Structure 1
Amino acid sequence: MESQRSDINEAIEASGEATLEQANKKAKEKIDSFFNVRLDIAVTGETGSGKTSFVNALRGLKDNDEDAAPTGVTETTTEPTDYKNPTMPNVTLWDLPGIGSPEFKAKTYLKNVKFDRYDFFLIVSSGRFRDNDITLAKEIKKKKKQFYFIRSKIDHDVQSEKRKGINKEETLSKIRRNCEEELKGIGNSNIFLISSWDMYEFDFEKLIDTLESELPEHKQNALLQSVPVCSVAILEGKVKMFHKIAWALALISGAIAVAPVPGLSFSSDMAMVGSFFTSCYHSFGLDHKSLERLSELVNKPHLKSLEMSPLVQELTQMSSIRLGASALGEYLCSLLPVAGSAAAAAISFTTTREVLLKGLDALAEEARKVLREAGLE
């Protein structure tokens, strides 16, 4: 019991607050922000730049998936169109019309696409960046929002140059130099070489690292939850993020346990645990659609036959037994004045934290195994 109280005191201290009630309030704000904060990403560029395929790739979808944004050889986007992340509907990618089209002239583009609703802009080009791209970047900069240049279809360029006897490194170096030359008037421009077909190659990880470093913390969490797992570094970033959320959920559990209401602590804890495991499952790319896409990208068909949902069910069932076993003790403690409430909070905090972290570790290890099987360590 003494170690449990020490754990919860350590968590309260780490929150920067003086009491469990204050720490709980802060934890609730963190959890609300984690699961509900909006992130609106604008993807724009000229017709044929590959921006719609890039939108699909960021959502973890193939162009021919049922919920994918429509693509084509001509401009298919005639107005700003929102596409929700399949597992995080509060993260929205906006496929904007090609700049320079008759309805969206460069000078009035930002006004017509409702500039203020986006957190940042991704400007996509499949060849050289055009005057319209540069004009747009300058206007965004004037309005003090972030923008990033995406040079798309890099896999095509690499293959094309390979046929001429030019290796991958030389091709990428040449393209990067050309982009920097075209954009030298912008100042501190961010350029990322991306293949929407193969997000596991080139600069996708660098792009996510850069966005994370420049977004506010609550927006960082939304971004990191939603992006596909395409490297060990991105996966470990997600694990670290969920580890922090587990502590916040455990603090909330401790505060709820103080109330002497039969069954309240158990039902609340189970709801939190179920939501937490489901979020990890999707964010780590363990759902069927993510595994299917990965198997196609790395040409390893057996990956799509992996079935991870039973693991979530198993973890939830084990958690139910563990949480149920401690629920009676929490309730009995909560009936005692002052000291009993503290004891109930300590038991609930420690038990819930252990359950969450054990499940997190199990799901993270399965995700690491998938990356190893895919050859993406």
Structure 2
Amino acid sequence: MSVSPRPAVMGENLKADPEVIQAVQNAMGNNTETAEEKLREYLEFKSKVPLNIAITGGSGNGKSSFVNAFRGVDDDDDHASPTGVKETTMEVKEYPHPNYPNVIISDLPGIGTTKFPASKYLKLFGFNKFDLFIIISADRFTENDAKLAKEIDKMKKKFYFVRSKVDVDLQNEQRKKNFSEQKTLAEIREDCVKSLKQHGIESQQVFLVSNHHIHLYDFSLLQETLQRDLPDHRKDALLLASPSIFPGIIEKKKKFFRYQIWFLTALSSVVAAAPLPGLSVGVDLSLLVGAVTHYVFAFALDISSLRRTAARTGISYDELIAVLKSQLAAKEITKELITKVILQLPGATKVIVAEEVSKFIPLVGIPMSMTFSAATTYNLLKLFLDMLAEDAQRISDRIITDKCRARDML
């Protein structure tokens, strides 16, 4: 793909923060490092919004495995929540997301394992710091679960019921004559809703999940529901930390970053207005490195994430690497790497030189330079984003194919 001197799409609204643009304009009079720092501050802002999700339920219900699944971590990982049939959590344990430490999954003791009633339970463990609660059961929901939900509701917090280990139930039911997966899932869901109704909880949605096969059943629906219910400033935090195994999540992340491209393009054109040789190219490279690094981590295409994916899925790291096509995945994103990739694109060198030379053309030079810089930045960011989103989809396809094949062999 060649580097076009004109953005490919002009139909979206650009909503750049005037204060940030003004800060970059002011920084241009100083040095490249100051301008770069302003760009880094913007790029890091979205990944620092705090989000704290509380997970609770009785012992042996799969809370810890759910915490690990949510974070994309294998149960045997050094940073995993400890699992076991006994209650292993007697205090709040916080587990930050490995790529987005602002997103914390808190493992709470099961309410049935403490001596405190639901109202005191929430106060004891500091309910105010949690944005939402997920109540997990591997069977019917209990009276304690319902009491806890009512207390959470009184405090105007969101809560969700998750029925775990449905894959185990399905395997047990497969031995029966006339087995139907769809019918069994409907029966499990109906039984959960019925048990909640018996304890005074009406019309509750119950999400059926398998902590070891998150691509199946309702895990993606749960993610979508949580994101829908969160305040706007926390929706993006959850989205970025969500597993990229789901095509819908990959597409949402792609749209999120595509919107940011317009902001970064505006910054690029502002910096290009400074008639200082080398400033725009230097800042643009930093901008590209920062943005692409965010893409790589959000799509779990960095080396650490790919190794965690390999451990969790049983697919070897080398097999995952083999499906990648871009030169940006599974690499440290540096100016040298970005430059190498850019220079392999047809017409790239001409556009960069044209931007630098145009600055010194009387009257029209600065507007020309701004146009070149904005167009080049836009097209490169869009190209790199598309490349990495496609790699994320390849990883997703590989995992789902492997999991479905293993499932069919049971």
**Shift in CA distance, 340/305, structure 1 to aligned 2, threshold 3 Å:** closer
Equivalent-residue separation in structure 2 for 1:374 and 1:94 (angstroms): 27
When normalised by structure 1's length, the TM-score is 0.85
1:299 positional shift: 6.1
Is 1:259 the equivalent of 2:285? Answer: no
The residue that corresponds to 1:101 in the other structure is 113
The residue that corresponds to 2:189 in the other structure is 176
1:158 positional shift: 1.0
What residue identity is the alignment partner of 2:236? N
Q: 1:135 aligns with which of 119, 127, 147?
A: 147
Equivalent-residue separation in structure 1 for 2:88 and 2:276 (angstroms): 57
1:52 positional shift: 1.0
**Shift in CA distance, 353/232, structure 1 to aligned 2, threshold 3 Å:** same
Q: 2:274 aligns to what SS in structure 1?
A: coil
- Describe the superposition over 1:57-103 as per-residue Cα deviations: whole angstroms up to 9, x where unpaired: 01101100121111222222222121111111111111112213235
Give the conservation status (yes or no) of the 8 Å contact 2:74–2:80.
yes
Equivalent-residue separation in structure 2 for 1:211 and 1:176 (angstroms): 19
The residue that corresponds to 1:268 in the other structure is 283
Give the conservation status (yes or no) of the 8 Å contact 2:136–2:162.
yes
Q: 2:300 aligns to what SS in structure 1?
A: coil
Is 1:356 the equivalent of 2:381? Answer: yes
**Shift in CA distance, 113/285, structure 1 to aligned 2, threshold 3 Å:** same
The residue that corresponds to 2:217 in the other structure is 202
Q: 1:183 aligns to what SS in structure 2?
A: helix
1:106 positional shift: 2.1
Equivalent-residue separation in structure 1 for 2:397 and 2:62 (angstroms): 30
1:297 positional shift: 6.6
Stretch moving more, 75-84 or 149-158? 75-84
Equivalent-residue separation in structure 2 for 1:26 and 1:169 (angstroms): 57
Is 1:86 the equivalent of 2:111? Answer: no
Is 1:317 the equivalent of 2:339? Answer: yes
Is 1:370 the equivalent of 2:395? Answer: yes
1:232 positional shift: 1.8
**Superposition pairs of residues 269-308 of structure 1, within 5 angstroms:** 269-288=284-303, 290-291=305-306, 301=316, 303-306=319-322, 308=329
| Overall identity of the aligned pairs, in % | 37
What residue identity is the alignment partner of 2:338? T
Q: 2:68 aligns with which of 39, 52, 56?
A: 56
Stretch moving more, 187-196 or 324-333? 324-333
Q: 1:127 aligns to what SS in structure 2?
A: coil
Q: 1:309 aligns to what SS in structure 2?
A: coil
1:147 positional shift: 1.0
When normalised by structure 2's length, the TM-score is 0.79
Q: 1:192 aligns to what SS in structure 2?
A: strand
1:189 positional shift: 2.3
Equivalent-residue separation in structure 1 for 2:223 and 2:50 (angstroms): 17
1:229 positional shift: 1.9
**Shift in CA distance, 182/83, structure 1 to aligned 2, threshold 3 Å:** same
Equivalent-residue separation in structure 2 for 1:292 and 1:23 (angstroms): 37
Equivalent-residue separation in structure 1 for 2:217 and 2:339 (angstroms): 41
Equivalent-residue separation in structure 1 for 2:183 and 2:143 (angstroms): 26
Equivalent-residue separation in structure 1 for 2:363 and 2:110 (angstroms): 64
What residue identity is the alignment partner of 1:238? K
What residue identity is the alignment partner of 2:172? S
Give the conservation status (yes or no) of the 8 Å contact 1:51–1:124.
yes
**Shift in CA distance, 108/319, structure 1 to aligned 2, threshold 3 Å:** same
CA RMSD of aligned residues (A): 3.4
What residue identity is the alignment partner of 1:85? H
Give the conservation status (yes or no) of the 8 Å contact 2:50–2:234.
yes
What residue identity is the alignment partner of 2:99? T
Equivalent-residue separation in structure 2 for 1:327 and 1:299 (angstroms): 45
Give the conservation status (yes or no) of the 8 Å contact 1:61–1:293.
yes
Give the conservation status (yes or no) of the 8 Å contact 2:43–2:291.
no
**Shift in CA distance, 292/347, structure 1 to aligned 2, threshold 3 Å:** same
Structure 1: runs of 5 or more not aligned: none
The residue that corresponds to 2:34 in the other structure is none
Give the conservation status (yes or no) of the 8 Å contact 1:179–1:191.
yes
Q: 2:257 aligns with which of 242, 245, 250?
A: 242
The residue that corresponds to 2:29 in the other structure is none
Structure 2: runs of 5 or more not aligned: 25-38, 405-410
Q: 2:122 aligns with which of 96, 106, 110?
A: 110
The residue that corresponds to 1:343 in the other structure is 368
Which one scores higher on RCO, CA 8 angstroms, separation ≥ 6?
Answer: 2
Give the conservation status (yes or no) of the 8 Å contact 1:31–1:245.
no
Stretch moving more, 223-232 or 310-319? 310-319
Equivalent-residue separation in structure 2 for 1:43 and 1:187 (angstroms): 21
Give the conservation status (yes or no) of the 8 Å contact 2:51–2:238.
yes
1:223 positional shift: 1.1
